[in-house]
Structure 1
Amino acid sequence: MQMEVHGRAAAGGPANGVLDFSRLSLNNFNVDSVSEERKRDARQLYLNYNQLTSLPASACIFSNLEFLDISNNSALSVICEDITRLGKLKTLLAKNNRLDEFSLPKEFGSMQLEVLNFSGNRFEEIPLQCTKLRRLQSLSLGGNRLKSIPAEIENLTSLELLYLGGNLITAIPPELANLPYLSYLVLCDNRIQSVPPQLTRLHSMRSLSLHNNLLTYLPREILSLVHLHELSLRGNPLVVRFVKDMTYDPPSLLELAGRTIKSRNIPYFPHELPSNLLHYLDLASKCPNPKCAGVYFDSCVRHIKFVDFCGKYRLPLMHYLCSPECTSPCNSNPQSDADSEDELSVPADRLQRVLLG
């Protein structure tokens, strides 16, 4: 079925560059009825609230488009290859359709998009084509079926806003910390259990939404986010029940021997040890405390510190050390966490909003 172009054009006529064919409830449209002047001048095209099953190739005739809205087409499952011809397109809104990771053309990543919204679709993975959009500043994939965030997300070096709320994500990849301009990160309503300490490198971060996840603690490094003004944590176990299990299992004799060999650089040769011990020695991990030169294998101390935020809330921050003698990485003097209880209070001009309830 063809759609005659009798849809309502935005007020002001073609001069304002807006073509509005929304809410026509038809399957395609015929660009032959559009004047050449309007094809040339059109900057915005609205095809939302129709019954499109795919983005029609004829929509790509408008070569100067900068904004395209194909949202709320309940049957839309494919975006045609021709969209890559829209070399000036900066904003693509495709919310509430039936798109998934197989719906995009192979060369989608070559486009010059700055804003992309795929919220309310059926994506189970973030398409790798999306991670090639080097000019992308805003990416929204909320309300999909995502289970993970690919490491390739670090390629979006212009990204300022990432919205992934309402998915099935269980972990935050450390590669996310390689986005220098990321200011707004929304990961609410997922299944995330921990926040990687690498996020401390997100120096531009202003708002972090983590409500309704499975967090039981925060990494103490989060205090380094000096521009963070809003932190949303309601609906997490760390709010409704603080973590108090700090049981420490002492290292085995095998681990103590391994620690001694690695920490003191005692020389050994492959022919002197069984293969299983050689493999075990290769598994040594350096203590995360920068003031400690030790190593550990299986037994690592978990410390939890309750820190004041905004002088009102106390949140558990966690770090791992190789032994109880290790000094807290955030302290300048060797002393216990209990002795430094107030050292990590957040200044009043930091974190204007901590949303716990």
Structure 2
Amino acid sequence: MEPHEAAAGPGDGVLDLSRLSLNNLTVDTVSEERKRDTRQLYLNYNRLASLPVSVFSFHNLELLDISNNGLTVICEDVARLGKLRTLVAKNNRLDDLSLPKEFGSLRLEVLNLSGNRFEEIPLQCTKLRRLRSLSIGGNRLKSIPTEIENLTSLELLYLGGNLITAIPAEVANLPYLSYLVLCDNRIQSVPPQLTRLHSLRSLSLHNNLLTYLPREILSLVQLQELSLRGNPLVVRFVKEMTYDPPSLLELAGRTIKSRNIPYFPCDLPSHLLHYLDLASKCPNPKCAGVYFDSCVRHIKFVDFCGKYRLPLMHYLCSPECTSPCSSNPQSDAESEDESSVPADRLQRVLLG
């Protein structure tokens, strides 16, 4: 079978000799001249149990894709690829002992090890000082090593779909980190030190065990998206968004209070007088209602001076108070804020 060479561009009729897709039958038949010209080599979906030795003779290689094979080890010869910048090895059978000791000497900028069998992030990976993107999602990681702070060039860290229980404070020492994906883990809390991630734009924490967020998270002024769905924090919000119709007693009490019907201690029994004293005024400025035992629990996103939007729980007297035209006390101010604050400064919390 012949090597597959991708066209350089639509309509130009010229082959891009820097990009080469091979299967296991042709990798050993490539000419030395062709190896010298190749910058990108794709060996994915080849059922490889090990890498052919000839791969390491592509000395000018900048990208190597060995995804979706049956690899259990990456041999030490990979260190010979001195110009390699991107290594994609997802969906193999790699584990904690699969990387060579000299792996950290590579000058990688992008590394994808997702869909393997790692239980720990190999320390060799934490020596890749030029690394900008590290993906180890869908493995069996239980923790994040403190040595992660050594990856000072990191912009994207993808660790979703693991068994991680905690975020070490050392993650906050990554000055250029813009995307942090920790969804589908077992994380119970967010360290307040993350406020030092001044470049962070997206934080994915959905499907974890979070029950609260530190107030310091409001200091992440560059954060544009925070995903929280599937956490006890959000589940509690959603479950409490219920409304039980008021009793006849409450309806009568609401009528007396909202219409300012006068009454005196001699008119009512002491327990009814006490009940009327428990009335809570509806916070909706367009509603003069009150409530006692029955209220609407309603989530409202509040914009903090254009820096961040967080869900707050509001207790309203009736479902009508949740309509767009008459919400909580901050509804008017929010609509004005959202029209005056640039869209790129309004950030969102994803609850579902």
Taking structure 2 as the reference length, what is the TM-score of the superposition?
0.68
| Residue 311 (structure 2) aligns with | 314
| Residue 45 (structure 1) aligns with | 41
1:71 aligns with 2:72: no
Paired AA for residue 117 in structure 1: N
Distance 1:148 1:193 in 2: 13
Structure 2: gaps (5+ residues) = 9-13, 238-298, 314-329
In structure 2, the residue corresponding to 1:59 is in which secondary structure? helix
Distance 1:78 1:29 in 2: 21
> How many angstroms does 1:309 deviate by?
3.8
Paired AA for residue 195 in structure 1: V
Question: What are the superposed Cα offsets for residues 132-160 of structure 1, whole Å, 9 maximum, x if unpaired?
Answer: 00000000011111000000000000000
Distance 2:142 2:346 in 1: 29
Q: How does 1:1-357 map to 2 (within 5 A)?
A: 6-11=2-7, 15-21=16-22, 24=23, 26=24, 30-31=27-28, 33-73=29-69, 75-241=70-236, 309-310=302-303, 313-314=310-311, 349=341, 350-357=345-352
Distance 1:91 1:237 in 2: 38
> How many angstroms does 1:308 deviate by?
5.3
What is the aligned residue count? 257
> How many angstroms does 1:352 deviate by?
2.0
> How many angstroms does 1:36 deviate by?
2.1
Question: What are the superposed Cα offsets for residues 238-285 of structure 1, whole Å, 9 maximum, x if unpaired?
Answer: 11115xxxxxxxxxxxxxxxxxxxxxxxxxxxxxxxxxxxxxxxxxxx
Distance 2:158 2:131 in 1: 13
Distance 1:175 1:49 in 2: 37
Distance 1:30 1:43 in 2: 15
> How many angstroms does 1:9 deviate by?
2.3
Question: What are the superposed Cα offsets for residues 306-353 of structure 1, whole Å, 9 maximum, x if unpaired?
Answer: 99544875359xxxxxxxxxxxxxxxxxxxxxxxx9xxx9x7554522
Paired AA for residue 66 in structure 1: E
In structure 2, the residue corresponding to 1:9 is in which secondary structure? strand
In structure 2, the residue corresponding to 1:10 is in which secondary structure? strand
Question: What are the superposed Cα offsets for residues 14-37 of structure 1, whole Å, 9 maximum, x if unpaired?
Answer: 65311101xx4x4x6553x22222
Distance 2:300 2:192 in 1: 16
Question: What are the superposed Cα offsets for residues 183-232 of structure 1, whole Å, 9 maximum, x if unpaired?
Answer: 00000000000000000000000000000100000000000001001011
Share of identical aligned residues, percent?
Answer: 75
Paired AA for residue 50 in structure 2: S
> How many angstroms does 1:101 deviate by?
1.4
Taking structure 1 as the reference length, what is the TM-score of the superposition?
0.68
Structure 1: which 4+ aligned runs deviate by more than 4 Å? 12-15, 347-351
Whichever of the two has the greater Rg, that structure is: 2
Distance 1:111 1:190 in 2: 29
Distance 1:309 1:50 in 2: 51
Contact 1:71-1:97 within 8 A present in 2 as well: yes
| Residue 284 (structure 1) aligns with | none
Structure (1 or 2) with the greater helix fraction: 2
Contact 1:43-1:64 within 8 A present in 2 as well: yes
In structure 1, the residue corresponding to 2:203 is in which secondary structure? strand
> How many angstroms does 1:8 deviate by?
1.9
Distance 1:310 1:199 in 2: 21
In structure 2, the residue corresponding to 1:40 is in which secondary structure? helix
Paired AA for residue 210 in structure 1: L
Paired AA for residue 123 in structure 1: F
> How many angstroms does 1:56 deviate by?
2.3
> How many angstroms does 1:6 deviate by?
2.1
Contact 1:134-1:156 within 8 A present in 2 as well: yes
